[in-house]
């Protein structure tokens, strides 16, 4: 059994995979890392190895604590990867983006594919049918846009995310919802349209925390999978264990 550890800026996700299937997923606060890991290992004694992906602030001592219990692989661009990385600055390619592209290689091999991760940031990653990763784009995510409007203006409130009923906002709150959510939807559809101009056989995967909110609102055809990053991490762990 494999333990997948995905560390964000404030939260962690732990997933347990057995023979390629997700058995359990735990989400918690980064501050509770040691306790959460200890509980998972206690309840699943058959876990033999783990992969750690950290875009947040996981301490070296926390990784060492885990490595004293089971074999641990830390994700980085230096690992053996299942694709050719043609990014101009491979050292700066985020662990989350590496994992997403790896999941795409496993599940959609030999495809021109665009992976869209709608989280704190919206990342776009493209891999071609020759298994070459070429890059993509990064833009602010939905919550970041709400927070920016509140932080950088004097009179705009911080709102909870809400799908607007109409593009025409008839109040300040409805105008914010319209601007943020429809803005993101139009951006994503627009990016997909530009890729389709170059690659008519494009496969599009949508993942991330806002998948559920956005997936049914996009005009383009997509595959929605909220666990795509975890699946990519599990694939990388297996790929490096061969």
Q: What is the pLDDT along the chain (242 residues), one digit of tens a residue?
A: 999 999 987 789 999 999 999 999 999 998 898 999 999 999 998 999 999 998 767 788 888 889 999 999 999 999 999 999 999 999 999 999 999 999 999 999 999 999 999 999 999 999 999 999 999 999 999 999 999 999 999 899 999 999 999 999 999 999 999 999 999 999 999 999 999 999 999 999 999 999 999 999 999 989 999 999 999 999 999 999 97
pTM confidence score = 0.93
- Known catalytic residue: 110? no
Per annotation, catalytic residue among 6, 32, 39, 96: 96
Fold of 2-74: Nucleotidyltransferase; domain 5 (3.30.420)
pLDDT of residue 56: 63
Indicate where the chain has its CATH 3.30.420.40 domain(s).
2-74, 84-233
pLDDT of residue 98: 97
**84-233, which class in CATH?**
alpha beta
Rg over CA atoms, the chain: 19
Q: Is 207 exposed, middle or buried (0-12, 13-18, 19+ CB in 10 A)?
A: buried
Cβ density class 167-191: b for 16+ within 10 Å, e for less: eebeeeebebbbbbbbebbeebeeb
CA distances from 175 to 121, 143, 150, 179 (A): 22, 15, 13, 6
Could you tell me the two tokens for 113?
């594919």
pLDDT of residue 61: 86
């Amino acid at each position: 059994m494999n333990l997948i550890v995905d560390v964000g800026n404030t939260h962690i996700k732990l997933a347990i995979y057995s023979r390629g299937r997700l058995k359990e997923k735990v989400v918690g606060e980064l501050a509770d890392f040691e306790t959460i890991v200890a509980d998972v290992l206690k309840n699943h004694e058959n876990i033999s190895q783990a992969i750690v992906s950290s875009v947040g602030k996981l301490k070296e001592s926390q990784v060492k604590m885990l490595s004293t219990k089971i074999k641990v692989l830390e994700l980085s661009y230096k690992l053996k990867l299942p694709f050719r990385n043609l990014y101009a600055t491979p050292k700066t390619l985020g662990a989350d983006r590496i994992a997403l592209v790896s999941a795409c290689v496993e599940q959609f091999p030999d495809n021109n594919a665009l992976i869209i991760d709608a989280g704190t940031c919206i990342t776009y990653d493209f891999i071609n049918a020759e298994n070459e990763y070429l890059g993509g784009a990064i833009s602010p995510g939905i919550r970041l846009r709400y927070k920016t409007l509140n932080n950088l203006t004097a009179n705009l409130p911080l709102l909870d995310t809400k799908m607007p009923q109409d593009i025409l906002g008839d109040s300040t709150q409805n105008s914010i919802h319209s601007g943020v959510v429809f803005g993101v939807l139009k951006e994503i559809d627009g990016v997909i349209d530009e890729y389709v101009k170059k690659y008519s056989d494009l496969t599009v995967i949508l993942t991330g925390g806002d998948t559920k909110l956005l997936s049914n609102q996009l005009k383009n055809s997509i595959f929605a999978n909220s666990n795509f990053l975890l699946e990519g991490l599990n694939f990388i762990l297996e790929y490096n264990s061969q």
